[in-house]
Chains A and B, each alone.
Chain A
Amino acid sequence: MSEHSHGGPVLTAHRAGLMGCRRCGRVWPKGQRQCARCGSRLVQPDRSGLQAVWAWWLAGLIAYIPANLMPMMRTQAFGGLKGSSESTIVGGVLELIHYGSYDIAAVVFFASVVVPVAKFISIAWLAIVAGRPATVEQAHTRLKIYEVVEFIGRWSMIDVFVVAILSALVQLGFVVSIHPGPAAAAFAISVAFTMLSAQSFDPRLIWRGLPLRSRTED
Chain B
Amino acid sequence: MQHQPIHDIETGKGLIACPRCDALHVEEDLKGGETASCVRCGSVLAKPRGGAFTQLIALSFTSVVLLMGAVFFPFLEISRLSFGNQTSLFGVALAFAEGMLLPLVVAVLLVIVGLPVLRAFLLVYTLVPLVKGRPPHRHAPAAFRWYEILGPWSMAEIFLIGTSVALVKIVGMVTVHLGPAFWAFGALILVNLASRSFMCHTTIWDAMEDAGLPTDTHRMIGAPEA
- Which A residues fall within an 8 A CB radius of B? 1, 4-6, 8, 10-14, 16, 18-29, 31-34, 36-40, 45, 104, 107, 139-140, 143, 150, 153-155, 157-176, 179-180, 182, 184-185, 188, 195, 199, 203-204, 206-207
Chain A-chain B contacts (Cβ-Cβ < 8 Å), number:
240
A interface: dominant SS: mixed
Contact of B165 with A162 in the complex, beta carbons under 8 Å? yes
Q: Specify which of A12, A28, A39 is in contact with B24 (CB 8 Å cutoff).
A: A12
| Nearest chain B residue, comparing its CB with the CB of A151 | B152
Q: Is B17 an interface residue (CB 8 A)?
A: yes
Q: Which residues of B contact A203 (CB under 8 A)?
A: 19-21
Q: Is B202 an interface residue (CB 8 A)?
A: yes
Contact of A164 with B22 in the complex, beta carbons under 8 Å? no
Contact of A172 with B222 in the complex, beta carbons under 8 Å? no
Complex CA distance for A24 and B45, rounded to whole angstroms: 10
Contact of B165 with A158 in the complex, beta carbons under 8 Å? yes
In the A-B complex, list the 3 residue pairs whose CB atoms are closest, starting with the nearest: A20-B17, A161-B162, A27-B12
Contact of B83 with A175 in the complex, beta carbons under 8 Å? yes
CB distance from B182 to the nearest CB of A (A): 11
Known contacts A11-B24, A168-B91, A169-B78; 8 further A-B pairs (Cβ under 8 A):
A5-B42, A10-B23, A18-B15, A143-B41, A150-B152, A157-B158, A159-B162, A175-B83
- Which B residues fall within an 8 A CB radius of A? 9-13, 15-24, 37-43, 45, 76, 78, 80-81, 83-85, 87, 91-96, 98, 100-101, 103-104, 107-108, 111-112, 141-142, 144-145, 148, 152-153, 155, 158-159, 161-163, 165-166, 168-170, 173-174, 201-202, 205, 208-209, 213-216, 219-224, 226
Contact of A26 with B39 in the complex, beta carbons under 8 Å? no
CB distance from A138 to the nearest CB of B (A): 12
CB distance from A105 to the nearest CB of B (A): 11
Complex CA distance for A170 and B94, rounded to whole angstroms: 13
Contact of B202 with A188 in the complex, beta carbons under 8 Å? no
Q: Which residues of A contact B45 (CB under 8 A)?
A: 25
Contact of B23 with A27 in the complex, beta carbons under 8 Å? no
Contact of A24 with B221 in the complex, beta carbons under 8 Å? no
* Contacts known (A38-B205, A164-B93); A170 close to B170, Cβ less than 8 A: yes
CB distance from A108 to the nearest CB of B (A): 8
Contact of B152 with A199 in the complex, beta carbons under 8 Å? yes
Complex CA distance for A145 and B221, rounded to whole angstroms: 35
Complex CA distance for A26 and B204, rounded to whole angstroms: 12
Contact of B166 with A153 in the complex, beta carbons under 8 Å? no
| Nearest chain A residue, comparing its CB with the CB of B14 | A27
Contact of B221 with A169 in the complex, beta carbons under 8 Å? no
Contact of A167 with B223 in the complex, beta carbons under 8 Å? no
Contact of A12 with B17 in the complex, beta carbons under 8 Å? yes
Contact of A16 with B24 in the complex, beta carbons under 8 Å? yes
Contact of A169 with B205 in the complex, beta carbons under 8 Å? no
Q: Which residues of A contact B92 (CB under 8 A)?
A: 161, 164-165, 168-169
| Nearest chain A residue, comparing its CB with the CB of B11 | A29
Contact of B41 with A207 in the complex, beta carbons under 8 Å? yes
Contact of B95 with A154 in the complex, beta carbons under 8 Å? no
Contact of A26 with B205 in the complex, beta carbons under 8 Å? yes
Q: Which residues of A contact B162 (CB under 8 A)?
A: 157-162, 164-165
Contact of A39 with B141 in the complex, beta carbons under 8 Å? yes
Contact of B41 with A162 in the complex, beta carbons under 8 Å? no
Contact of B21 with A207 in the complex, beta carbons under 8 Å? yes
Q: Which residues of A contact B152 (CB under 8 A)?
A: 150, 153-154, 195, 199
